[in-house]
């Protein structure tokens, strides 16, 4: 999805039916989904303040981000099935209620466990909101107006993603990190007030089965993987426990593959998609690129505050230029695709994101924003601007039209799995102290290597000309 830095928007493009009240549905779904994107961009700015007040360890800090990413990664596909089974409006509204409750729980949390629970509830709410909101949005517009509607949805998400960290930085400058979560609750109440009358009723299919086994195995596997990698890389946990968690994760994810194969067409993760070169290549690329990207979005505000001693308001505003540049550049990426084909923009964009990570090596304890930090943000934005639109297009056009929505949902989940793993691996940097900058530089070097690998995985994708959102028959 161009402006929101995720291919999620592609899900809405696969819908074929129409329902009345398109403008009202657009407003309701855009507002609620924007809260999810805003919530995801808040913890990076607040990590240092939360860690100090609650006396958190490096093993605990990454979970302030991953607690929300986990249900988003594991439940996005199942949430679509829940919407089909119980009605998209009902599941969408439930998601808003859960998101508001999670925000309140996070704001008033007195311990790490309560805060993590609040973030998990927000993640579950977000997983219910985004795919069902996009499905309702896709059904509310005819095919000739669908792409524009999704573009408006995407722009709203981009504004929320860009504005939230800056607002959080201003709040932290003069108040508490709790306010950054608390301000989401009344916005969720407003989203609920808009969604109840402005979203279409009906659509439930009582006979549809939900893949609960697949969802449960994915949650167990990803949670264990995140916990094991966090403990393994920051030295804050037991080595034996970390390795046991990783082994358990591999077993759970292996069982997921077996279970999904047995489910056949009812599976949330159709295994027949995994036999396509294009699907394999595009999802490997997504995982290897989005992990470093989200790790950098998480680390840079923390390093700016803890290492360079810059004000929280500056750290919060650091990535506003990135969102503006990506939103501006992404529409131009189509011209690059038309000239160079479907693979070249992804390779070039991946290498530029790697260069942006390497530019982060200039950042030290005396860093200034415009001379040392902005160049890394600029190069990162140029790379992501080249990648996001072609990636969304390739996800849709690499499969038959009846699988386009599923393929987009899988790619969205993969991007969050990559993000979850990336954040889990940076726990050592969050230890702070005199070794903070050395650990940050090592993380940036590893992130750059992952982006180079992402660019190489594009070679798995079949070469050919670019196609504009026309799924293969």
**pLDDT value at position 68?**
93
What gap in Å lies between CA 39 and CA 43, rounded to an integer? Answer: 8
Q: What is the DSSP letter of 319?
A: T
User: How many C-alpha atoms does 469 have within 13 Å on its Cβ side?
Assistant: 20
What gap in Å lies between CA 4 and CA 50, rounded to an integer? Answer: 26
Tokens of 35: 């809260």
What is the domain count for the chain?
1
469: in domain: no
Q: Facing residues of 400 across strands?
A: 472
pTM listed for this prediction: 0.84
Q: Is 400 helix (H, G, I), strand (E, B) or coil?
A: strand
Residue ranges making up the domain that contains 181: 7-460
Burial degree of 344 (CB within 10 A; 0-12, 13-18, 19+): middle
What gap in Å lies between CA 398 and CA 390, rounded to an integer? Answer: 12
φ, ψ for residue 15 (rounded to 5)? -80, 150
399: in domain: yes
What gap in Å lies between CA 188 and CA 94, rounded to an integer? Answer: 11
**One digit per residue, pLDDT tens: the chain, 473 residues?**
333 444 343 333 333 344 446 888 999 999 999 999 999 888 889 998 999 999 988 788 889 999 999 998 888 878 877 888 888 899 999 999 999 999 999 999 999 999 999 999 999 999 999 888 888 887 888 877 776 787 788 778 878 888 889 899 999 988 899 999 999 999 999 999 999 998 888 777 766 777 888 888 988 998 888 888 888 876 656 788 889 999 999 999 999 888 888 877 677 777 777 778 888 999 999 999 999 999 998 999 999 999 999 999 999 988 888 888 887 877 776 677 677 777 888 999 999 999 999 999 999 999 999 999 999 999 998 998 888 878 877 877 777 766 666 777 788 888 889 999 998 888 778 877 788 999 999 999 999 999 999 999 999 988 866 555 444 44
- Which CATH number does the domain housing residue 370 bear? 1.20.1250.20
**N- to C-terminal Cα separation, the chain:** 23
CA distances from 205 to 94, 108, 132, 210 (A): 17, 38, 14, 11
What gap in Å lies between CA 246 and CA 65, rounded to an integer? Answer: 19
**pLDDT value at position 6?**
42
Tokens of 277: 């070169």
473: in domain: no
What gap in Å lies between CA 417 and CA 37, rounded to an integer? Answer: 16
CB 300 within 8 A of CB 322: no
What gap in Å lies between CA 46 and CA 103, rounded to an integer? Answer: 14
DSSP codes, 98-145: HHHHHHHHHHT--SHHHHHHHHHHHHHHHHHHHHHHHHHHHHHS-HHH
DSSP codes, 30-85: HHHHHHHHHHHTSHHHHHHHHHHHHT--TTTTTHHHHHHHHHHHHHHHHHHHHHHH
- Tell me the angle at which helices 436-457 and 344-359 cross, rounded to the nearest 10 degrees: 170
What gap in Å lies between CA 5 and CA 35, rounded to an integer? Answer: 15
Q: Is 310 helix (H, G, I), strand (E, B) or coil?
A: coil
CB atoms < 10 A from the CB of 4, how many?
27
407: in domain: yes
465: in domain: no
Q: Which of 381, 411, 344, 469 is nearest to 158 (CA)?
A: 381
431: in domain: yes
472: in domain: no
Q: Which of 410, 406, 394 is nearest to 470 (CA)?
A: 394
1: in domain: no
CB 48 within 8 A of CB 189: no
What gap in Å lies between CA 101 and CA 118, rounded to an integer? Answer: 8
Q: What is the DSSP letter of 373?
A: I
**pLDDT value at position 129?**
93
For 305, residues 6+ apart whose C-beta sits below 8 A from its C-beta are: 45, 48, 311, 312, 315
Q: Facing residues of 472 across strands?
A: 400
CA distances from 399 to 36, 190, 209, 470 (A): 28, 38, 24, 10
């Amino acid at each position: 999805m161009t402006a929101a830095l995720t291919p999620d928007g592609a899900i809405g493009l696969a819908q074929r039916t129409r329902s009345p009240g398109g403008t009202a549905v657009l407003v309701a779904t855009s507002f609620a989904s924007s809260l999810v994107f805003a919530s995801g961009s808040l913890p990076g700015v607040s990590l240092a303040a939360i860690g100090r007040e609650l006396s958190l360890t490096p093993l605990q800090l990454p979970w302030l981000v991953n607690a929300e990413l986990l249900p988003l990664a594991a439940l996005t596909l199942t949430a679509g099935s829940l919407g089909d089974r119980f009605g998209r409006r009902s599941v969408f509204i439930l998601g808003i209620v859960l998101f508001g409750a999670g925000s309140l729980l996070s704001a008033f949390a007195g311990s790490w466990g309560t805060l993590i629970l609040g973030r998990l509830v927000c993640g579950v709410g977000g997983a219910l909101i985004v795919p069902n909101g996009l499905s309702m949005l896709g059904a509310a517009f005819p095919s000739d107006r669908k792409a524009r509607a999704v573009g408006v949805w995407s722009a709203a998400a981009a504004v929320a993603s860009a504005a939230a960290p800056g607002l959080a930085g201003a709040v932290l400058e003069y108040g508490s990190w709790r306010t950054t979560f608390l301000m989401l609750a009344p916005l969720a109440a407003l989203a609920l007030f808009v969604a109840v009358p402005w979203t279409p009723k009906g659509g439930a299919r009582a006979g549809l089965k939900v893949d609960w086994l697949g969802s449960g195995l994915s949650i167990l596997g990803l949670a264990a993987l995140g916990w094991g990698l966090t403990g393994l890389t920051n030295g804050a946990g037991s080595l034996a426990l970390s390795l046991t968690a990783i082994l358990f994760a591999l077993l759970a994810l292996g069982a997921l593959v077996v279970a999904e194969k047995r489910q056949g067409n009812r599976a949330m993760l159709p295994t027949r998609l995994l036999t396509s070169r294009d699907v394999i290549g595009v999802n490997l690329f997504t995982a290897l690129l989005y992990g470093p990207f989200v790790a950098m979005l998480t680390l840079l505000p923390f390093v700016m505050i803890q290492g360079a001693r810059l004000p929280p308001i500056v750290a919060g505003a650091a990535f506003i230029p990135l969102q503006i540049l990506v939103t501006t550049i992404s529409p131009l990426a189509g011209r690059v695709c038309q000239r160079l084909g479907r693979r070249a923009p992804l390779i070039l964009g991946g290498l530029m994101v790697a260069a942006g990570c390497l530019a982060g090596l200039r950042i030290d304890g005396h860093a200034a924003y415009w001379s040392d930090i902005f160049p890394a943000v600029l190069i990162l934005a140029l790379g992501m601007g080249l990648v996001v639109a072609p990636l969304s297009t390739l996800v849709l056009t690499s499969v038959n039209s009846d699988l386009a929505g599923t393929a987009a949902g899988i790619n969205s989940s993969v991007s969050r799995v990559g993000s979850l793993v990336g954040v889990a691996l940076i726990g050592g940097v969050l230890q702070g102290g005199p070794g903070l900058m050395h650990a940050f530089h090592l993380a940036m070097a590893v992130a750059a290597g992952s982006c180079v690998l992402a660019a190489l995985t594009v070679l798995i994708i079949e070469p050919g000309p670019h196609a504009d959102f026309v799924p293969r028959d």
